[in-house]
Structure 1
Amino acid sequence: MDSHNRLFSLLSLFLLFLLLSGYNIGHLVLQAEARSLQNPTKLFVFGDSYADTGNIGRDGSKSWKTPYGVTFPGKPAGRFSDGRVLTDYIAKYLGVRSPVPYKFRKSMPEYLKYGMNFAYGGTGVFNTSSPSPNMTLQIDFLQDLINHKVYSSYDLSNSVALVSVAGNDYSFYLATNNGSTQGLASFISSVVNQTIKNVVRIQGLGVKKIAVSGLQPLGCLPETTASSSFQECNDTFNTFVTLHNTLLTQALSKLNQTTNGTPSIVVLDLYDSFMSVLNHPTTHNIQNELKPCCVGVSSEYSCGSVDDNNVKKYSVCDDPKSAFFWDLVHPTQAGWHAIYNQLRATTALQQLQY
């Protein structure tokens, strides 16, 4: 009891000293509150395999098969990489735990406080060949959780949303049009317009800070550069990517003009981040910039494939940390880390702070 009295006396003397010295205690409290609100408390993720951390089903998905996850967490865990992906690095920057996949919301309720990941590999803003839900349905999932009081308006107002669009809409378009790019420019406008509708809807749910990924250089993905033995990017594909990114940036800039102060929506420039690493790989300790680390032994197989006798039909490079691409589409953990370092050098991530 005496120790409590002594502590109370010391605190009283300290406060008296502050008052006599003219210090504004209210200002001190406001500073403390400002520091506590500096970082968002939750991250909500929508999109595709660049952001998926385990939503897509185990049956038939290579992300749940060896050698995926070999670097982190040491076994297949639903990420389309040997380790961490974009979501993990954005969460790291924001100072929150990488959010639980929507699929595991009931089995891991203790992690709901960090937000939720609704992204599914293979999806787009429209329906693709993937049976997984497109982005509209993913936003429906969050709406349902709000309706059921899982997340409150306060939760949403102190959160950040990550919207990942990595090109599955375009892959599906080309596949259904026999590889023809005729009409692709018009379709790009449709994809961008639907992305904007999705962002506006997420805003309407109460999320005040939204990061939207620009499109990466599709012409530099190994599935495209394979035709040149992984030596050259396809400039034609990258020209269409530039159109997508230009339209997206312009549309989001108009949205930001409707808000006061700090922009509420930022574009993560994956194109420049990818190209910066690919053009200067050794700066990021990358030795193999275009050749994937994990490849099928022939064109009929892919990373993670096995035959009927469970014999693997793929090969993995000796050091995934030296490769930028993991498979024909996705970066390695080392690749994502290099991209993240490039993004940190811009103002985009800084604008996600509250």
Structure 2
Amino acid sequence: MANLSASYISFLLCFTTCINLISSHYLPENHVALFIFGDSLFDPGNNNYINTTADFRANFYPYGETFFKCPTGRFSDGRLIPDFIAQFAGLPIIPTYLQPGKRKFTDGVNFASGGAGALVESHQGFVVDLETQIKYFNKVEKSLRQELGDAGAKKLMSKAVYLISIGGNDYFTKNSSVSDEEFVSMVLGNLTVALKEIYKKGGRKFGFPNLLPLGCLPYMKAQSGGSCIDELTAIAKLHSAELLKTLVKLQSQLEGFKYAYYNLYQSFTERFQRCNDSMLRLWSVRRSL
């Protein structure tokens, strides 16, 4: 009887192991993973797990108070752009790469770090720069090959979408001795290196927002007496124009390279203007009462 029980337990263990192996290697034919790189616009909380200062963290209220009901490390009171994209694609919330514990990478992973730039020198020592994010990505790709096999990992990587928001922080820390054109070229040069590394691992589909009007962000206006800093906004516009040229060039050079480009600058400006118009109308109504 004891031998029978031992045999039965062994059978169950073997059966469970086989099922786990099958399920870990099987992905639906239409499955598309989402890999995310960038700065605070996309950071879901990676900075919670690095040695940095409160300036580069969002793990306190009022962050997170609407959707998650608690701070998660997102620089938002709720979800971020990648969270909505994941929902639209039928994916769960994409996991934070640096969060401890067992992680499932077949849906993708988020490497973004608030304050990060394309240049290693931007907020160096306080954030996870783009080059390091790519190193983490290479580790994930290796892990997926071990889990899915070379063919399975290659298929997943080639069907995946890669979202990247980077560059703004580089211009906040720009060296004044370098011309805007040279500096933008440096930033986009590093971004191009990262894109080619992802492409080499199988990545083909990329999504990019352009930069916000950096000089008109509340943080910057607070430092300039409430006025926009035109120089910062000008370099943001230059970056966005050159980014688009870079993507067009890469599409012509790299077979299968596809990209989507979202004009976040225009979207932000329009919403900001509508907000100002609404406030003016409200003020006019109150004065007439």
Instruction: Name the TM-score, length of structure 2 as normaliser.
Output: 0.74
CA distance in structure 1 between the partners assigned to 2:84 and 2:279 by the alignment: 22
CA distance in structure 2 between the partners assigned to 1:222 and 1:51 by the alignment: 18
CA apart distance, 1:136 = 1.4
Q: After superposition, where does 1:324-339 map in structure 2 within 5 Å? A: none
Q: For residue 21 of structure 1, what is the aligned residue in structure 2?
A: none
SS in 2 for 1:189: helix
How many aligned positions are there? 241
**Contact in 2 for aligned 1:122/1:130 (Cα 8 Å):** no
Q: Identify the structure with the greater helix proportion.
A: 2
Stretches (4+) displaced over 6 A: none
Q: For residue 191 of structure 2, what is the aligned residue in structure 1?
A: 195
The partner residue of 1:281 within 267, 271, 275 is: 275
RMSD of the TM alignment (CA)? 2.7
Percent sequence identity over matched residues?
31
Q: For residue 112 of structure 2, what is the aligned residue in structure 1?
A: 119
Q: For residue 183 of structure 1, what is the aligned residue in structure 2?
A: 179
Q: 1:75 to 1:209 in 2, by over 3 A?
A: same
1:169 aligns with 2:162: no
CA apart distance, 1:84 = 1.1
Cα deviation code 1:290-321 (max 9, x no counterpart): xxxxxxxxxxxxxxxxxxxxxxxxxxxxxxxx
**Contact in 2 for aligned 1:218/1:241 (Cα 8 Å):** yes
Q: For residue 63 of structure 2, what is the aligned residue in structure 1?
A: 68
CA apart distance, 1:228 = 5.8
Q: 1:224 to 1:72 in 2, by over 3 A?
A: same
CA apart distance, 1:161 = 0.6
CA distance in structure 1 between the partners assigned to 2:137 and 2:192 by the alignment: 17
Structure 1 gap segments, 5+ residues each: 1-34, 289-354
The partner residue of 1:49 within 37, 40, 47 is: 40
Write the letter of the residue equivalent to 1:276: E
Q: For residue 29 of structure 1, what is the aligned residue in structure 2?
A: none
1:220 aligns with 2:216: yes
1:264 aligns with 2:258: yes
**Contact in 1 for aligned 2:171/2:232 (Cα 8 Å):** no
CA distance in structure 2 between the partners assigned to 1:193 and 1:213 by the alignment: 17
CA distance in structure 2 between the partners assigned to 1:121 and 1:50 by the alignment: 7
CA distance in structure 2 between the partners assigned to 1:103 and 1:72 by the alignment: 22
CA apart distance, 1:206 = 0.8
Q: For residue 142 of structure 1, what is the aligned residue in structure 2?
A: 137
**Contact in 2 for aligned 1:166/1:216 (Cα 8 Å):** no
1:239 aligns with 2:196: no
CA apart distance, 1:260 = 6.5
CA apart distance, 1:287 = 5.6
CA apart distance, 1:130 = 4.3
SS in 2 for 1:46: strand
SS in 1 for 2:241: helix
CA apart distance, 1:158 = 1.9
Cα deviation code 1:226-283 (max 9, x no counterpart): 25654x433332211111111110010111124678x612222211121121222389
Instruction: Name the TM-score, length of structure 1 as normaliser.
Output: 0.62
Q: 1:203 to 1:75 in 2, by over 3 A?
A: same
CA apart distance, 1:216 = 1.1
CA apart distance, 1:191 = 0.3
